[in-house]
Structure 1
Amino acid sequence: MRVTTTRAAGRQPLRRLLLCGAAIASVLAPGIGAAASDAYPPVTDARLANAASDNGWLMYRRDYTSSGYAPFKDINTGNVTKLKVAFDYESGLKTGHEAAPIVNGNMMFITTPKNQLIALDATSGKVLWKYVHDLSKVGLKTICCDVVNRGVALYGDDVYMATLDNYVVALDAKTGKVKWQEKLQAPDVGYAMTLAPLIVKGKVVVGVSGGEYGARGFIEALDAKTGKMAWKTHTIPAPNEPGGDTWPKGAYKTGGGAAWLTGTYDAETDTLFWGVGNPGPWLATLRPGKNLYTDSVIAMNPDSGKVKWHYQYTPNDTWDYDGTNETVMVDITHDGKPYKAIVSASRNGWFYAIDRTNGKLIYAEKFAHATSVSHFENGEPVTDDDKRPTVDKEIFTCPSFLGGKNWWPISVSPETHMAYVPTLHSCMTMKGGTVNYKAGLPFLGESFKVVHDPDNKNWGAVQAIDLNTGKQVWNYESALPWSDGTLATAGGLVFSGSADGYFMAFDAKTGKVLWKSDKLSSGIIGVPTTYRVNGKQYVAVWAGWGGGIPIWGGDMVPEVMDIPVGGHLYVFSLQ
């Protein structure tokens, strides 16, 4: 049967929201509604608080710490060689597939490029229902980079997706029927949403993309039951707000600061951590000052959105280094002193540990070739003026704007006390230019070229970092860029996928490759997850090449342009 509802042109009451606008459809497979209803356990606040020990995978990075770690041992270092494909699902789409498969009970929820949401039986791959968001009237010309989506959030009996045309859509998880949808911003003027939402205290929290178009970033929380806005926090403060004096007059209106990756929540201190992206325009000489809160992690009150504190990774960024990368909550001991920390591998090439109670730097260590941020003074990063481009000066610096690590998430293991970091070896030339803001057009003011890191013969790596020190423990080098997130398990394994289409399991302690899949249909950039149903563990990942590397890095690594495209979800289990 086909369930049809509609999309409103703005923020309207629910009864009107479902009666006007363009059609959006969900398709329910025959005869599965009752079975799904019987098998679907509600996702409560208590289950989200204890998601780390759940048999499913209930949120983007598994739990509120953003750990990317599961305590499952069924698949382990002793038997991982027996891992085989249990089922696969083909999307039919030829662009980048980046989403994390989300699992509750025996239901899996996957998203595709261009905002399709599919519910599957988590053990067989049978399609239960499919929702296709109507993008027919949207140009998608201001989407960076690729028309991707990174997954859903679950709460109660509902599933939530953020869309490329700036809607948050709530659907019945058992049937795919749309319950509400809320428009946050007009499309095609610089704003989009590609992240997986985060549920915190009954609110759906999302952030926008658009830093390359001068969109003024924001993070917004919606009531999970109604879609009504609870709060909205702009990441670029106005002149009368804290941090507003770090911008030239009027620059905040087009200041960038997109918040395009999912945040982290600390229940102990009731704090929401969220990363903020690059300022606009790229050329920093056009906007002197620190440009808060770009390239920062901000700590917020989840009830109001008020900023408690911030830490800026790259002040007055002119290299597009962002600060959106996930912040993972860990407890560490550094120089003999215990800390409650958040750690992040920044695009600028430094691995940061920050005290999550007050925003003070604990340590920063290079994990990639990094020259733009040269050192630290009084706990703050210092940038090299010689690496700053102007309209009269071309510079060479490392890493490139693609970063020492891009959006691909790290994972951490409490057994090894290590972080597992997908790494990119690239540098760039960059030169300033002129630019004027116009809504919907790129707002850069710089030209650039990504080039090979002269200090490394390879383009990518997966490395393990000691969380107490920030120092590298092991390193696996890759000839091609490594652009997949990592998954750590209690089985002593780290899973991640390669650009040339192999899903791999590493020994978490040593980095030895213990298992490698047969060659899959495409390169892997999807976030891997794992779950258990009826006592059996599965590992799931999208293969579907795309995203930023082929768009921006095709010249640097011609081989990536020959990688087959097309989305396949692969689910593995012991056979």
Structure 2
Amino acid sequence: MPKISLQHRLKGATAFGCAGLALAACAALAVPAKAQTAAPAAAPVAPAYTPVSQSDLVGASTSDGWLMFNRDYAGQDYVPFDQINAGNVSTLSTAWTSGKIDIPDGFEGTPIVSGNYMFVTTPKDHVIAYNAKTGEKLWQYDYKIAPAAYKTLCCDTNNRGVAVYGSSVIFGTLDNHVVALDATTGKEQWNVSLAEPGVGYSITEAPLVVNGKVIIASGGGEYGARGFIVGLDATNGQQVWKTYTIPSPDEPGGDTWPKGMYQTGGGAAWMTGTYDADTNTLLWGVGNPGPWLAKMRPGKNLYSDSLLALDPDTGKMKWYYQYTANDTWDYDGVNTPQLADITYEGKSYKAVIEANRNGYFYAIDRTDGKLIYAKPFIHDTSILGIDKTGHAITNEELKPTLTKSIFTCPSFLGGKNWWPGSIDPETNMAYVPTLHACMTMVGVPVTYSAGLPFLGEKFEMKDDPTSPGQYGSLQAIDLSTGKKVWEQKSSYPWDAGTLATKGGLVFSGTVDGYLKAFDAKTGQVVWTSPQLTSGIISNPISYQIDGKQYVAIWTGWGGVWPIWAGKLAAPEVKIPRGGQLYVFALPSS
């Protein structure tokens, strides 16, 4: 496969944008340059493509492909395939690979598989189509990012993937465009802008298509950008609705903010949500309020750090649940809200499951937003428990001020960051990639200015005193109790998502470059790949073509840990950069 030689660089990087990066890595982001793609010797023959309908998306959980970011609307990251199982996974080997892609940033994309097509994104908004069976490269689209966009990126130049609908492949960009491409040719169908680049907004999440509408949201909470979620007409990109995550004074919840501060209140909804087709309800997470220093904005600060239930046809809110009120620790509520039917204390529920950044594992009734249970899944000092109304009790003594420094757990990267966990309906367990770290924080003066960081706090990540030297783990949690069943510990952060399969396996990648398979019931490691070209911070997927099961994963070290973890990230400095897509399968019989 030809390499992609890409040397887009960041011009005029702010200290915030490059904070914590090694000097060479920050320098590698300096000046934009044109992407170059080696021309193939002969034009590839594109396989036939079957357009994706709404009924296909509703039935994605039983398809042979991987039709959306979390595979299906429930977001369980589970496949009903058992060709690869504990009895034969030891023979898994590489079926094909993309070859190395020379971008020194984090590869966080989830491949999307529709029929024989696989659509992937790379950092800096490049889209590539492969033959999912053979690995033949079919086409590549190189989006040209406005240079101003690089000034206001929080956490790397990542793009987490595409959505498919009809004959379109749809994705968001770092400079706030949403673009639709022809699935078979990669030619642009439409291109719309949602916000001006360079003032705080950016898009890194994969869209979700529901009822002919492209649902996508902005990032930018660290820059005081007021968060929003939009629904666009999938045929032409025209905006159908727009819902702000931070309410104005005349909207419900507007009185939870000091006068005027809603305009810079953050609340970026920067991760892909899920959808309950039975009730026609979107479930979408909302990030941290701005500025970080809570003493500047007394009140609950709705709807930051919250789960929103929205009508996908109008964007109107049905209910909400706030995980952390008046957050000062950056405990975003954007982790994937996963749908599952559970039984708790003898009663059945249609639940939303989320391992939250604040360190609690939540089960919420998805019909009305009421709490079912919330249990701590890591060492947590910021949250003291759950009150009688079903909401977190925040530790007011551990909120920093301009004159008070605090030490608390978990760190601002959370007990779990954005990496999707998975749910296995047969084991009744959730598989949660977990971080173990604490932090110090102290307030600093800050004034809002468009395009500049809006934090009001300094911070440093520290060892968790209850598990020094352990920065990651993979946990299995019983959905009926919220309690841990097994745990695999690591001296590295666990910065990759998980995939559960009917074959009784859980797949996840490691920072030091291995894809591993675990026994879903016991956590025993039953297969480890050869060491791959870089660390893994992406989500594994599985799909079937012509009766053969495949497992795919991106390598490509980067993302939040090397940027923000400071001294704790020292062991990872030497990890090679650059991405490579690996696809594994059992040997042919």
**TM-score category of the 2 structures, normalised to the smaller one:** over 0.9
> After the TM superposition, which residues 244-259 of structure 1 pair with which residues of structure 2 at under 5 Å, given as runs?
244-259=254-269
Structure 1 residue runs of 5 or longer lacking an equivalent are: 1-22
Provide, for residues 463-483 of structure 1, a one-character-per-residue CA deviation record: whole Å limited to 9, x for no partner.
000011100000000111110
Report the equivalent of 1:128. Answer: 138
What SS does the aligned partner of 1:319 have? coil
- Alpha-carbon distance in structure 2 between the residues aligned to 1:348 and 1:165: 29
In the TM superposition, what is the alpha-carbon distance from 1:557 to its structure 2 partner? 3.0
Q: Does 1:525 align with 2:537?
A: yes
- Alpha-carbon distance in structure 2 between the residues aligned to 1:557 and 1:303: 44
Identify which of 516, 522, 525 aligns with 1:510.
Answer: 522
- Alpha-carbon distance in structure 2 between the residues aligned to 1:510 and 1:356: 29
Pair 1:28–1:470, CA change in 2 (3 A) = farther
Pair 1:159–1:60, CA change in 2 (3 A) = same
Provide, for residues 314-366 of structure 1, a one-character-per-residue CA deviation record: whole Å limited to 9, x for no partner.
00000000100000000011010100000000011000000000000000001
Report the equivalent of 1:63. Answer: 72
Q: Does 1:168 align with 2:159?
A: no
In the TM superposition, what is the alpha-carbon distance from 1:435 to its structure 2 partner? 0.2
Report the equivalent of 1:308. Answer: 318
Pair 1:220–1:67, CA change in 2 (3 A) = same
In the TM superposition, what is the alpha-carbon distance from 1:138 to its structure 2 partner? 3.3
Aligned residue pairs total: 552
Q: Does 1:81 align with 2:114?
A: no
Pair 1:305–1:396, CA change in 2 (3 A) = same
Pair 1:48–1:372, CA change in 2 (3 A) = same
> After the TM superposition, which residues 407-446 of structure 1 pair with which residues of structure 2 at under 5 Å, given as runs?
407-446=418-457
In the TM superposition, what is the alpha-carbon distance from 1:427 to its structure 2 partner? 0.3
Q: Does 1:385 align with 2:396?
A: yes
Q: Does 1:155 align with 2:165?
A: yes
Report the equivalent of 1:15. Answer: none
In the TM superposition, what is the alpha-carbon distance from 1:554 to its structure 2 partner? 3.4
Identify which of 479, 482, 485 aligns with 1:473.
Answer: 485
Report the equivalent of 2:190. Answer: 180
- Alpha-carbon distance in structure 2 between the residues aligned to 1:44 and 1:336: 38
- Alpha-carbon distance in structure 2 between the residues aligned to 1:343 and 1:28: 46
Provide, for residues 13-36 of structure 1, a one-character-per-residue CA deviation record: whole Å limited to 9, x for no partner.
xxxxxxxxxx99999968757x43
Q: Quick check: 2:75–2:274 contact (8 Å CA) kept in 1?
A: yes
What SS does the aligned partner of 1:450 have? strand
- Alpha-carbon distance in structure 2 between the residues aligned to 1:29 and 1:109: 18
Report the equivalent of 1:9. Answer: none
Q: Quick check: 1:26–1:176 contact (8 Å CA) kept in 2?
A: no
In the TM superposition, what is the alpha-carbon distance from 1:526 to its structure 2 partner? 1.3
Letter in 1 for 2:422: S
Provide, for residues 122-157 of structure 1, a one-character-per-residue CA deviation record: whole Å limited to 9, x for no partner.
122111000000015334111110000100000011
Report the equivalent of 1:203. Answer: 213
What SS does the aligned partner of 1:47 have? helix
Letter in 1 for 2:111: P
Report the equivalent of 2:373. Answer: 363
Pair 1:414–1:315, CA change in 2 (3 A) = same
Report the equivalent of 2:577. Answer: 565
Report the equivalent of 1:534. Answer: 546
Identify which range, 285-294 or 555-564, moves more after superposition. 555-564
- Alpha-carbon distance in structure 1 between the residues aligned to 2:541 and 2:391: 35
Letter in 1 for 2:152: T
Report the equivalent of 1:222. Answer: 232
- Alpha-carbon distance in structure 2 between the residues aligned to 1:177 and 1:557: 41
Report the equivalent of 2:271. Answer: 261
RMSD after superposition: 1.5
- Alpha-carbon distance in structure 2 between the residues aligned to 1:262 and 1:425: 24
What SS does the aligned partner of 1:39 have? coil
Report the equivalent of 1:46. Answer: 55
Q: Quick check: 2:149–2:174 contact (8 Å CA) kept in 1?
A: no
Provide, for residues 429-476 of structure 1, a one-character-per-residue CA deviation record: whole Å limited to 9, x for no partner.
101111000011100000100001110131100000001110000000
Pair 1:165–1:336, CA change in 2 (3 A) = same
- Alpha-carbon distance in structure 1 between the residues aligned to 2:374 and 2:184: 45
- Alpha-carbon distance in structure 2 between the residues aligned to 1:554 and 1:52: 40
Q: Quick check: 2:407–2:439 contact (8 Å CA) kept in 1?
A: yes
- Alpha-carbon distance in structure 2 between the residues aligned to 1:132 and 1:357: 42
Q: Quick check: 2:460–2:566 contact (8 Å CA) kept in 1?
A: no
- Alpha-carbon distance in structure 1 between the residues aligned to 2:278 and 2:36: 40
What SS does the aligned partner of 1:558 have? helix
- Alpha-carbon distance in structure 2 between the residues aligned to 1:492 and 1:505: 10
Q: Quick check: 1:27–1:176 contact (8 Å CA) kept in 2?
A: no
- Alpha-carbon distance in structure 1 between the residues aligned to 2:61 and 2:148: 38
Identity %: 58
What SS does the aligned partner of 1:231 have? strand
Q: Does 1:103 align with 2:122?
A: no
Q: Does 1:462 align with 2:474?
A: yes
Report the equivalent of 2:281. Answer: 271
- Alpha-carbon distance in structure 2 between the residues aligned to 1:221 and 1:96: 28
In the TM superposition, what is the alpha-carbon distance from 1:412 to its structure 2 partner? 0.2
- Alpha-carbon distance in structure 2 between the residues aligned to 1:545 and 1:293: 32
Provide, for residues 82-132 of structure 1, a one-character-per-residue CA deviation record: whole Å limited to 9, x for no partner.
111111112221100000011011110010000000000112211100000
- Alpha-carbon distance in structure 1 between the residues aligned to 2:367 and 2:38: 46
Provide, for residues 17-58 of structure 1, a one-character-per-residue CA deviation record: whole Å limited to 9, x for no partner.
xxxxxx99999968757x43x521111111100000100100
What SS does the aligned partner of 2:573 have? helix
Provide, for residues 473-518 of structure 1, a one-character-per-residue CA deviation record: whole Å limited to 9, x for no partner.
0000011111000000000000000000010000000000000011
Pair 1:25–1:301, CA change in 2 (3 A) = farther
- Alpha-carbon distance in structure 2 between the residues aligned to 1:167 and 1:444: 26
Pair 1:168–1:29, CA change in 2 (3 A) = farther
- Alpha-carbon distance in structure 2 between the residues aligned to 1:547 and 1:26: 24
Q: Quick check: 2:561–2:569 contact (8 Å CA) kept in 1?
A: no
- Alpha-carbon distance in structure 1 between the residues aligned to 2:229 and 2:296: 25
Q: Quick check: 2:287–2:333 contact (8 Å CA) kept in 1?
A: yes
TM, length-normalised to structure 1: 0.94
Letter in 1 for 2:481: T
- Alpha-carbon distance in structure 1 between the residues aligned to 2:81 and 2:51: 22
Identify which of 76, 88, 91 aligns with 2:101.
Answer: 91
Letter in 1 for 2:336: E
Q: Does 1:117 align with 2:122?
A: no
Letter in 2 for 1:419: A
- Alpha-carbon distance in structure 1 between the residues aligned to 2:278 and 2:101: 40
Report the equivalent of 1:552. Answer: 564
In the TM superposition, what is the alpha-carbon distance from 1:369 to its structure 2 partner? 1.0
Letter in 2 for 1:473: V
